[in-house]
Structure 1
Amino acid sequence: MGSPTATTKCPGTERVAGGAAHRGRADAARNRERILAAAREAFVIHGADASLDEIARTAGVGNATLYRHFPDRDDLVHGVMHAVTERIATRAQQALTEEENPFEALRSFVFAAVEERIGALCPMLSGRFDSTEPQCLAARKRVEGLTEELIRRAQRAGEVRTDIDVGDVMVALGQLTRPLPGVGCGRLERFVERHVQLYIDGLRAPARSELPGHAATLEELREDH
């Protein structure tokens, strides 16, 4: 009997295959990020019923690529909200670690959160997004914890009024970035930063007025959902 024939491989084959796999993963990651960015913009303008075909075109990918990453609309909504929440948390952490002045750290975070237009995205939570899903719940708690740390640090430094709580900032972020009924988002975009700065100035200590009611806590906000 003859000896078994040995299988030989061309030198470098493994490296070529590995490189191709790496490029494939990198391309897939870029496509996913482009889809999420296009979807966020579409959801801000048109709501959760925005055209998936148009999202794919804006992202520069085919419909098959979109559905490969996000099999249905709810998966895409979930992906957008998780990506937005993670970015806000990252910006909050950066503000804490990179900005020495406590008030400027809070201001930096507020403007970063406003850029995500969270108020325009929030309405889609109803019916399409499970806010108690573990991954999303963890990301939300991280944002809340970092926001509280930013506020408390500024209050301890005497730079933010003491009669506000985390819920006050959360409510303001939602309201200041939510389009008015019957008014296109683009028409209000130019005013958002101006109104946010007015709000931030109102947080400064010493307070120039007495706020009615009481500070809004996170616990109260959760009770309303």
Structure 2
Amino acid sequence: MSQDAAPRPLRADAARNRQRILDAATAAFDVQGTDASLEDVAKAAGVGVGTLYRHFPTRLDLIEAVYRSNVEAFAAQADELLERLPAGEALDEWVMGFVGYVIRKKGMASALKAGLGPEAAEIMSQSRATLQGAAGRLVVAAQAAGAIRTDLEPPDLMRAVSGVCLAGVESMDRERTERVLRLLLDGLRWSAPTPA
């Protein structure tokens, strides 16, 4: 089969098993880090360890899949928040959720960089683009609603929020990190146009 050919879609039961493994691995990595027992992950997912290895032949394959899944899930939250909250509140909630997202992905990012070397840069680049797209949708909606200043660009938001969160993870001070993020969000509202 050509390398360019798309992989065959999984059968419904196989797709369910794969998602259960990803969910169980996410929970295990959150608590135990990326060295969590894969046998325990399989057990928590309700599958045999052979099924886990059929989907993810190596630990690194599983870490990469969980990392990508977490990025997609966090980006999707932007659209979910915009559907149920005013745009300014949606932006606030997504930004405040970034702390937990960074804590969750930090160990996985380190493992990918160590295991994949230069190939990890492409994964990180795709992740940044996905998150910047989500941030862009939130920023545009919040600006259109008059909730934040109009000179903010999505890359500015991502750089500021990522920097604050990474510094917070290093210092292990989540409370102060969230306080700084709230100050940042207050700054975004300064000089915002009055909504019509």
Shift of the 174–28 alpha-carbon distance from structure 1 to 2, 3 Å rule, reads farther
CA deviation after TM superposition for structure 1 residue 200, in Å: 3.3
Pick from 114, 124, 136: which aligns with 2:111? 124
Matched, 1:145 2:133: yes
Pick from 46, 60, 71: which aligns with 1:60? 46
Matched-pair contact (CA < 8 Å) for 1:119–1:173: no
Q: What's the counterpart of residue 109 of structure 1?
A: 94
Shift of the 47–206 alpha-carbon distance from structure 1 to 2, 3 Å rule, reads closer
CA deviation after TM superposition for structure 1 residue 143, in Å: 1.0
Matched-pair contact (CA < 8 Å) for 1:120–1:179: no
Shift of the 89–118 alpha-carbon distance from structure 1 to 2, 3 Å rule, reads same
d(CA) in 1 for partners of 2:26, 2:163? 20
d(CA) in 1 for partners of 2:171, 2:11? 37
Shift of the 161–168 alpha-carbon distance from structure 1 to 2, 3 Å rule, reads farther
CA RMSD in angstroms, aligned pairs only: 3.5
Instruction: Give the letter for the 2:47 counterpart.
Output: V
SS at match of 2:36: coil
CA deviation after TM superposition for structure 1 residue 57, in Å: 1.7
State the structure with more CA Rg. Answer: 1
d(CA) in 2 for partners of 1:69, 1:40? 15
1:107-148 Cα offsets, whole Å, 9 max, x none, are: 2213444444234433323223533447x6444302113224
List alignment gaps of at least 5 residues for structure 2.
Answer: 1-9, 189-196
SS at match of 1:49: coil
Number of matched pairs: 173
Q: Which of the two has greater helix per residue?
A: 2
Pick from 28, 32, 35: which aligns with 2:18? 32
CA deviation after TM superposition for structure 1 residue 170, in Å: 1.6
d(CA) in 1 for partners of 2:163, 2:20? 29
CA deviation after TM superposition for structure 1 residue 77, in Å: 1.0
Matched-pair contact (CA < 8 Å) for 1:34–1:59: yes
d(CA) in 2 for partners of 1:175, 1:121? 17
List alignment gaps of at least 5 residues for structure 1.
Answer: 1-23, 181-190, 208-225
Q: What's the counterpart of residue 91 of structure 1?
A: 77
Matched-pair contact (CA < 8 Å) for 2:135–2:158: yes
* Identical aligned residues as a percent: 32
TM-score normalised over the length of structure 1: 0.61
d(CA) in 1 for partners of 2:13, 2:97? 27
Matched-pair contact (CA < 8 Å) for 1:92–1:143: no
d(CA) in 1 for partners of 2:24, 2:40? 9
Q: What's the counterpart of residue 74 of structure 1?
A: 60
Shift of the 173–119 alpha-carbon distance from structure 1 to 2, 3 Å rule, reads farther
